[in-house]
Amino acid sequence: MTKIHPSAVVDPKAELAEDVEVGPGAVVGPNVQIGAGSIIGAHAVLDGHLSMGEGNRVYPHAVLGTEPQDIKYRNEPTRLEFGNHNLIREFVTVHRGTPQGAGVTRICSNVFLMAYAHIAHDNVVEDFVVVANSAQIAGHVFLGEHAVVGGCTAIHQFVRIGQHAFIGGGSVVVMDVPPFCRATGNRAKLHGLNGIGLSRRGYSKDDLKALRTAYRLAFQSDLLIGEATDRIEQEITCVCPQAALLTEFLRTSKRGVTR
């Protein structure tokens, strides 16, 4: 049975699964869909064309699905989409997309957005991403699965953060950060492989050895990026198929790659 606190404001047109809980003072707009087992905390605001899967937890004062901070936006019917089992902590803000982007901001599943984090319009946040306290993510950013963004980090618009990358706290990221890598600083620079994170994800010692070799070829040799990616594809992907994520990322970068 749906549990809606008497002081909550839930539009009659909103679609809530039967076991959703909505806390005191929360506001749920008419175009919002909330999946089974989700909990909306006190004074949270869910607005706009927003869909949310199952088992999500939205903590007090989070604001989700409001208009993007884009002066070109003219109230077009863009969207914000959440997958399943996400944790959205206090005062997090996530804005819906813009027509100039994909028209949608997408938060996939098992994502952890810590207090005061901001996710701007047209972003894609893949599964198992962690964004720590007060991180500020500009528009059109891609965060690959299992990426970790440290607290108080700022990420420039159109930047891509690759799978399993780790961004140290307080960084300013203005170029793409490749998969598997650690980056930190203002402006962010690479500091080797994210070995601890990869070990936790089940990567073997042989995989880590192969990826370290790929890292040295791409970022610590005299090879051009194109030459390095060719070498990695020829010599490393045969023993560590995951290295193909790195070469694909390097070949498709538009902003340039953090070094």
The residues carrying an active-site annotation are: 121-122, 139
How many residues comprise the chain?
259
For residues 162, 163, 168 and 173, what is the CA-based torsion angle, rounded to 10 degrees? Answer: 10
Q: Do the beta carbons of residue 124 and residue 104 sit within 8 Å?
A: no
Edge-first strand order for the sheet with 166-167 is: 3-4, 21-22, 39-40, 57-58, 87-88, 112-113, 130-131, 148-149, 166-167, 181-184, 189-193
Query: What's the token pair of residue 94?
Result: 């996530």
For residues 247, 251, 254 and 257, what is the CA-based torsion angle, rounded to 10 degrees? Answer: 40
Q: How far is the CA of 184 from the CAs of 134, 166, 177, in angstroms? A: 16, 8, 10
Q: Among residues 8, 1, 11, 88, which one has the least CA distance to residue 37?
A: 1
Q: Among residues 253, 242, 182, 256, which one has the least CA distance to residue 211?
A: 242
Residue indicated by tokens 């884009």: 70
Q: Do the beta carbons of residue 215 and residue 181 sit within 8 Å?
A: yes
Rounded to 10°, the helix 205-219/225-235 angle is 150
